[in-house]
A = this chain, B = another copy of it.
């Protein structure tokens, strides 16, 4: 007997048939004696349809009114899922965000949850009902409807689990867990039984889009036991996201290999090595709302230095145009650029206590003749920028070098 919060995404509730499937899955948990709270997204495609309607009227829709419109997607799903549960004899009741006081700040389209009033839900659970709550939405202090941004339903689920002190928050998605790397690149990739919050955040921010990153941060902050599962498989325990390294568990130093194809490198060569030069280069780029990822400045000699950074590929040409405008002003000798690069990262809390992880990475890549163009590191990850043609090779050899090719632990 546990209290479980389950979240089903847009694909899992994309048709009335799939909603019936979700109802059967929820009924199974309920039948095992658990209390179940379900958070759902809009049916897949619905949010985009609503945004298109809004943009038909305003190029940049008014945020308050956009939230009024797009929050209806989840509202439709909660009603339909409640019907599907009742249809198979399971008592259920649906709530919009405002009905269970999911209060947020007033930042429309990207609001943050402040508090949740769990009293009404607790009453329903005590009377044996499955409680269904609309994800992605809340209500602010003015009584206005707010939404939490794309993927916000994950955050809704975690916040509800925290408020209800649930035993587990299960995120049902179209993958069956978190993998050591993308199985489409490395067939030997295996599902992780556990991953720490810190690793999950690095994996998520590096392009493994299993969970919305804010929901993982939220779960870490409120110590919510979080599990990623497939909504299309009957069995399977998915991946549990843990708060700390489990000492009893034989844990690999590196948890996984993440990669990101959306990178382009800019190298500003021979700039005067003086204070303020980084700002003179990146200031105009930031002013143009271009998000810079990796940044590296080499130690200079003869009063000149090289300055490198990466931007999303879609912003590559625009960034170059901006820099060529300021090149003379900042006194740069040359601008070298390449949009055929990728970022490959090894992630793992184990590397905190194991030296030599980075050097193993560099040696492994060198043995394959893969040139490293840029390096950046954090406490639990090492990222390298390489030519995109080496992506698959790099991920495969690193996966093997760090012992991730082992037989599945599942």
Q: How would residues 71 to 84 of chain A score, 1 for a CB under 8 Å from any chain B CB and 0 otherwise?
A: 11001101110111
Q: Is the interface of A mostly helix, strand, loop or mixed?
A: helix
Bound form: Cα–Cα A58–B145 in Å: 29
- Whether A249 sits at the interface, judged by CB under 8 Å, is no
Contact assessment for B94 and A57 in the assembled complex, using a CB-CB cutoff below 8 Å: no
- Whether A53 sits at the interface, judged by CB under 8 Å, is yes
Stretch binding the partner chain, chosen from A61-69, A265-273, A295-303, A306-314: A61-69
- Shortest Cβ distance from A70 into B: residue: B79
Given A68-B94, A82-B68, answer yes or no on A76-B62 (Cβ-Cβ < 8 Å). Answer: no
- Whether A20 sits at the interface, judged by CB under 8 Å, is yes
Given A69-B75, A78-B68, answer yes or no on A84-B96 (Cβ-Cβ < 8 Å). Answer: no
- Whether A334 sits at the interface, judged by CB under 8 Å, is no
- Whether A115 sits at the interface, judged by CB under 8 Å, is no
Contact assessment for B86 and A56 in the assembled complex, using a CB-CB cutoff below 8 Å: no
Contact assessment for B61 and A68 in the assembled complex, using a CB-CB cutoff below 8 Å: no
Tell which of B57, B80, B94 touches A54, judged by Cβ atoms closer than 8 Å: B80
Bound form: Cα–Cα A99–B83 in Å: 25
Tell which of B57, B78, B94 touches A80, judged by Cβ atoms closer than 8 Å: B57
- Shortest Cβ distance from A72 into B: residue: B72
Q: In the complex, which range does the number of interface residues on chain A fall in? A: 35 or more
Copies of this chain held together in the complex: 2
Contact assessment for A68 and B57 in the assembled complex, using a CB-CB cutoff below 8 Å: no
Contact assessment for B65 and A86 in the assembled complex, using a CB-CB cutoff below 8 Å: yes
- Whether A45 sits at the interface, judged by CB under 8 Å, is no
Given A53-B16, A57-B16, A57-B19, answer yes or no on A94-B65 (Cβ-Cβ < 8 Å). Answer: yes
- Shortest Cβ distance from A144 into B: residue: B99
- Whether A232 sits at the interface, judged by CB under 8 Å, is no
Contacts of A96 in B (CB 8 A): 68, 145
Contacts of A19 in B (CB 8 A): 57
Contacts of A86 in B (CB 8 A): 58, 62, 65
- Whether A362 sits at the interface, judged by CB under 8 Å, is no
Contact assessment for B76 and A69 in the assembled complex, using a CB-CB cutoff below 8 Å: yes
- Whether A87 sits at the interface, judged by CB under 8 Å, is yes
- Shortest Cβ distance from A98 into B: residue: B98
Question: Using a CB-CB cutoff of 8 Å, which residues 201-257 of chain A contact chain B?
Answer: none
Contacts of A62 in B (CB 8 A): 82-83, 86
Contact assessment for B87 and A58 in the assembled complex, using a CB-CB cutoff below 8 Å: yes
